Structure 1
Amino acid sequence: MDNTIEQTNQSMGEAEQKIVMDIKNITRTLPLGRERIEILKDISFQIMSGEFIAIVGPSGSGKSTLLGIIAGLDNPTTGQVFIDGVDVTRLSENKLAQVRNRKIGMVFQAFNLIPTLTAQENVEVPLYVGKHKGSPSVRAKELLTLVGLSHRLHHRPGQLSGGEQQRVAIARALATDPALVIADEPTGNLDARNGSNVLKLISDLREQTGKTFIIATHDPAVASHADRAVRIVDGRIAELDHTHGVITQ
């Protein structure tokens, strides 16, 4: 494999840790008749470069709403989200789209691959938005090799297993060399074996690339693979867990 990825991305041990995301006093309310329902209540925490963070909580806890806000897909009612020092809650939609393309890679539970495109073409798609160095096809081949799919370059999603589709989705999330990779229930549509393989892949990629990974999950077993958990209950942070794999309700 070409050494471009290793040259562009330092390993976690070599990279100097810094704050890549600073979430400050986030609230989110939604109207319900004449009332307003509080979905998120004064959420604040920081994420350091190279961390593998799990946002954990049961259905309805607010974790998906929080994930959408930190991914720049939704706005908080009050509060700020800084990505690499830039307050993304105050950006125009055009500038926010640029930040998402350059700094954030997204992985979804349902994979969200384009069914008519090959694995390689799906990974290339983000590279045709904005300006990115190098050849999209070369970058896509490198990343698919990194996730163990060099033999599936020309297969379409319908020809791949669920685990393979999620690997393609992870490669696509890495395509633009983002600072953060955000995954919403990345193992939700996978069986236990494939889910475990995807989580191991995320851990391995974090070690190899130094990227910051943030996953949202309702499953404590999935969260136990992360370095640290942010546990959300009823829209508040119930626990900031700094111990590997210890999450209780």
Structure 2
Amino acid sequence: MTVIELKNVQKNYGKGEATVEALKNINFQANAGEVVLIMGPSGAGKSTFLTVVGSLQKPTAGKVLIKGKDISELSVKESNKLRLNQIGFVLQSYNLVPFLTIKEQFELVNRVKKSGNIDKATLEKLLGQLGISGLVNKYPNELSGGQQQRAAIARALYANPEMLLADEPTASLDSKNVDEVGQLFKNLAKNYHKAVILVTHDPRLEKYADHIYEMMDGQMTKES
């Protein structure tokens, strides 16, 4: 099932002669149960793509469809609700609240999103799969970078989104940890039937992807 699709999407900044075309006629789709890689160097347009897919910015032209519904013209309130319910983010900074334990991070989600989150048994299973079951009473600064990342993944999945967006998830990791993270995302996609979109410049993740898109100068090409 197609979770998200972009049709002829453009994103411009500025006006007139100062116009910068950040995204040029992008066509893309990601299905439930699959890992999709967005590859490309810095400045290729990956970050802009991520913000458009994540409903943080609206495209200048084209359509962004989530489960067939065009989200391009949603109001700010509707976009906020969409991100809360259907999109999970795993950012480079992990985005964990520093003064809350890992357990309390999930309680915070419950206060913001009062229904539709995964149940206690599924959460415990997820924490076990991520290898952080014994860390739920610790604060983020008591965890390693890899453990913080796994906690951020768990928190993103706790809200039971349709898709998971990860920004440079293997930045600064050695090859052993890259393999662990790549396999982790692949397992999450299959086991939880999520569309997992990884924005990266790390070719070591390619073997874990079901589909790979290359970005260069705001243009996107799907690898065969």
Q: Normalising to structure 1: TM-score of the pair? A: 0.83
**Which aligned pairs between 1:102-181 and structure 2 lie closer than 5 A?**
102-133=85-116, 140-181=123-164
Distance (Å, rounded) in 2 between the aligned partners of 1:94 and 1:43: 26
Query: Alpha-carbon deviations, 1:210-229, whole Å to 9, x = none?
Result: 21100000122223321111
Partners of 1:83 and 1:152 lie apart in 2 by 34
Which of structures 1 and 2 has the larger relative contact order (alpha carbons within 8 angstroms, sep 6+)? 2
Q: Percent identity?
A: 38
Structure 1 residues 121 and 29: alpha-carbon distance in aligned structure 2, compared to 1, 3 A threshold: same
* SS in structure 2 at match of 1:221: helix
Q: By how many angstroms is 1:75 displaced?
A: 1.2
Shift of 1:127: 2.8
Matched residue, 2:3: 20
Please give the alpha-carbon distance, in whole angstroms, between the structure 1 residues aligned to 2:96 and 2:41.
27
Q: How many residues align?
A: 224
User: What is the match of residue 173 of structure 2?
Assistant: 190
- Per-residue CA deviations over 1:195-237 (Å, capped at 9, x if unaligned) read 3322221112222212110000012222332111111111111
Contact kept in structure 1, 2:113 and 2:159, CA below 8 Å:
no
Alignment correspondent of 2:208: 225
The reply to whether residue 94 of structure 1 matches residue 81 of structure 2 is no
How far has the Cα of 1:179 moved from its partner?
0.9
Q: Which residue number in structure 2 is paired with residue 52 of structure 1?
A: 35
What's 1:240 paired with? 222
Alignment partner of 1:41 is 2:24: yes
Deviation, 1:139, is 6.0
Q: 1:118 to 1:140 in 2, by over 3 A?
A: farther
Q: Find the residue that maps to 2:215 and give its secondary structure.
A: strand
Q: Aligned residue for 2:12?
A: 29
Cα RMSD after superposing both structures: 2.0
Matched AA of 1:22: E
SS of residue paired to 2:89 = strand
Query: Aligned to 2:128, what secondary structure does the other structure show?
Result: helix
Gaps of at least 5 residues in structure 2 are none
How far has the Cα of 1:138 moved from its partner? 6.3
Q: Distance in 1 between matches of 2:118 and 2:149?
A: 23
Q: Deviations over 1:87-107 (max 9, x none)?
A: 111111111111111111110
Partners of 2:60 and 2:200 lie apart in 1 by 23
Report the Cα offset of residue 34 of structure 1.
4.3
Deviations 1:8-38 (A, max 9, x none): xxxxxxxxxx111110111111127842011
1:118 deviation in Å?
0.8
Deviation string, structure 1 residues 31-70 (Cα, Å, up to 9, x no partner): 2784201111000122222111001111000011001100
Runs of 5+ consecutive residues of structure 1 not aligned to the other structure:
1-17, 243-249
Contact 1:144 1:150 (8 Å CA) reproduced: yes
Residue in structure 2 matched with residue 3 of structure 1 by the alignment: none
